Homo-oligomer: A and B are copies of this chain.
């Protein structure tokens, strides 16, 4: 019986898919906020080729050979698995497939963009890249990618995470990433915050400010981001392109595709190649974006111009937002606590191509446990959100007798982030509001 649809190394995609070429309406451009020229600053902050890709409207962009080889060396293509154990347990008529982005050495899809960004940085003569990390997945991926490219990597890690997850620091250092608890003494922003409040737990906003300041001090240093931006999703489209080939091999068409959304990178990366067909009128698949009830950006946010960061440093982006000063309650899915959303995902939601749903924290861990017992693999807290909705959809099929084909992007494993499971198992986890 077939549980796994493999692709060979040769079947790694040769190009990224850029949904800018196919959007049903034009993507609203970023704007400066009043009296500032933030857009003019971008080239000093970001790697040039990444900025070019951000605004490109070419449908396909060639993956450089060196990047494609690293994709191959580091585990691509990833398997697409049939969740027969889960199907059996649910006694459903639905077929459930899950794409194994957890098989990346760093445990999530993040490496797909980290490799590309580190590659372009190196090519442009950059010697060091900076970033911030909250949960730690992006900082881990970028540390490995930078080390493979032979450039340095500095990660500003929110102090509370730095203290609570010491092994996240260790794994980044193992890949030769330089990790600072943020706020740090390394930057003016950091020193200022520390002077005012030496015991601050830090925040993602402060960590971003430090990483950007660090990048601006030297023209051999650039800043990188792990989600939200168009070029990041572009790099992630290897996921969806692989799924397409894998489904063709078993002669399946997806009825329902599901991914969790934080900034939008695993969602867009896995679903944009299929959303293309829907936009072009060649598909009636449903696309579900799953959010935590603690941070319901697409479900309850407004579609308007807002800052990408918490302090108003970035240009204004037209997106679904809960307000740039929104601070999500502390849930275990740290990767889904962003106030805004990638602009392309936002546009497609606004045009009716994407259905967002929210789910509660304890319910998603319950789903994650059931999945682990049936399939073995333990999902990341973020991934549990997608799993929960896949299970709900499969249960609906049981009632209606429909034989839907459900495809979930399994964005990462939970092995480095077991605190959530521990509190779920010992009964201390509360259901989120």
Contact = CB atoms under 8 A, between A and B. Distances in A.
Interface of A: 1-4, 6, 8-10, 69, 72-75, 84-85, 103-107, 111, 144, 147-148, 166-167, 170-171, 173-176, 369, 372-373, 375-378, 415-416, 418, 421-422, 425
B106 A376 contact: yes
B3 A73 contact: yes
A298 to B, nearest CB: 30
Contacts of A418: 167, 170-171
Contacts of A84: 73
A52 to B, nearest CB: 28
Contacts of A85: 73, 148
Q: Interface centre among A2, A104, A422, by most B CB within 10 Å?
A: A422
Contact of A375 (B8, B105, B376): B105
Q: Interface centre among A8, A106, A418, by most B CB within 10 Å?
A: A418
Nearest to A423: B170
Given A1-B69, A174-B425, 14 more contacts: A6-B8, A74-B376, A103-B103, A105-B375, A105-B378, A148-B373, A148-B376, A167-B418, A170-B421, A171-B378, A174-B372, A174-B373, A174-B421, A175-B373
A200 B46 CA distance: 57
A2 to B, nearest CB: 5
A378 B143 CA distance: 14
Contacts of A4: 8-9, 72, 75
Contacts of A74: 375-376
A337 to B, nearest CB: 22
A376 B6 contact: no
A1 B425 contact: no
A3 B72 contact: yes
Contacts of A378: 105, 171, 174
Contacts of A105: 372, 375-378
